[in-house]
Amino acid sequence: MKLQWLRTRLRSQVTSRSFSTYPVPSLGNDLPTFQKQCFQPEQPAILPGVFNNLPAMKHWFSPGLNTDYLRKHGGDAFVPLELTQSTPEGPSFRSFHAPLSLFLDWMESPTPSKLYLAQCQLLDLPPLLRADFPTPTLVSQAGRGDIYDTNVWIGHPPTYTPLHRDPNPNLFVQLAGEKVVRLLAPDEGHAVFAGVRARLGKSGDRGAAAFRGEEMMQGGERALLDEVVWGTDGLEARLGAGDGLFIPKGWWHSIKGVGEGVTGSVSFVFVSIEWTANDCR
């Protein structure tokens, strides 16, 4: 009863704020345009088909997951995994580390439970697999050229990443399958997140949304955030293999893997910098 009351109150508050609905602009692989229209003013953009030639798309997926290649060149690597199972009380979630080979075996099995390779740092993988992710020009030349982090995500849909914000700009590239991303501008996203957390008696400060904690993946918080973010109109990007999405620093976002087969993504995280006029000449 309490959860239903919270959902009703939050839906009323969010819809009364008149979420803007407008398409995420699409850009080509043009560095000056990307700098001036997206990177400098911190505005999101879809980059359709720009990353079709990324080696990982050919080596890791064909189009399904190339388990033989990954097992041969990185089966012993220790990687972060998330297990989601259905229970009468709702989704059950836990995270742990295990060899990549365990994940590959799971992906080949017909189990109904979902095992997700989530936020696997490229540095945790062997050099040959890391070489499949050369830094895109838009990342290496848009700003100072520094990379803060690179992470890989693989699983069978549906997959889910809760509403959160990153302290750095992020180029999110879809390698296989399809994902849908909901985006909220910094102030709007914080208002939504803080509203949900406050009604659950939790802190709504910005630091609380920087982590993929278990409370964000199950229970009342997940249900409320999911309904508020996905149950109303909002800024949305739909990505297929080879597409990229620039997520500016501080923009809130939630991501769902949809469709059939396997979904795979990589995020190239920029070092956050202060812009000057010379950066965009």
d(CA 6, CA 231): 14
Q: Is the pLDDT of residue 149 over 60?
A: yes
Q: Which residues, other chains included, contact 58 with Cβ-Cβ below 8 Å and sequence gap of 6+?
A: none
Q: Which of 17-26, 86-95, 127-136, 166-175 has the lowest mean pLDDT?
A: 17-26
β-strands 170-176, 159-165: how paired? unpaired
Q: Using the predicted structure, report yes or no on whether residue 14 has a pLDDT greater than 80.
A: no
CB 269 within 8 A of CB 166: yes
Asked if pLDDT for residue 17 goes beyond 80, the answer is: no
Tens digits of residue pLDDT in 159-188: 988 888 888 999 999 999 999 999 999 998
The CATH topology of domain 2-17+25-75+119-280 is Jelly Rolls (2.60.120)
> Which residues are CB-contacts of 262 (< 8 A; sequence separation ≥ 6)?
61, 64, 65, 107, 154, 155, 156, 176, 177
Q: 67-74 and 100-107 are packed helices; what angle lies between their axes, rounded to 10 degrees?
A: 170
The model's confidence at residue 7, banded by pLDDT at 50, 70 and 90, is very low
Please check whether residue 242 is in contact with residue 50, taking contact to mean a CB–CB distance below 8 angstroms.
yes
Give the Cα separation of 53 and 29 in Å (integer). 12
For 212-216, the CB contacts below 8 A with 24+ separation are 212/95, 212/118, 212/119, 212/161, 212/162, 212/164, 214/93, 214/94, 214/95, 216/162, 216/163, 216/164
User: What pTM was estimated for this model as a whole?
Assistant: 0.85
**Which helix H or strand E contains 67, and what residues bound it?**
helix 67-74
Domain boundaries, the chain: 2-17+25-75+119-280
- Whole-angstrom distance, CA of residue 161 vs CA of residue 255: 5
Helix (H, G, I), strand (E, B) or coil at 160: strand
Instruction: Tell me the pLDDT band of 24, cut-offs 50, 70 and 90.
Output: confident
Q: How far apart are CA 28 and CA 52, in angstroms?
A: 13
> What is the pLDDT, as a whole number, of residue 219?
65
Q: Which of 45-54, 132-141, 200-209, 230-239 has the lowest mean pLDDT?
A: 200-209
User: So what's the pLDDT on residue 222?
Assistant: 78
CA–CA distance, 119 with 266 (Å, rounded to integer): 9
pLDDT for residue 9 is more than 50: no
Maximum CA pair distance of the chain?
A: 58
Whether residue 273 has pLDDT greater than 70: no
Higher pLDDT, 79 or 188: 79
Question: Under a CB-based contact definition with an 8 Å cutoff, are residues 34 and 13 in contact?
Answer: no
Does residue 252 or residue 13 have the better pLDDT? 252
Q: How far apart are CA 281 and CA 277, in angstroms?
A: 7
For 131-145, the pLDDT digits (tens) are 999 999 999 888 877
* pLDDT value, residue 276: 39
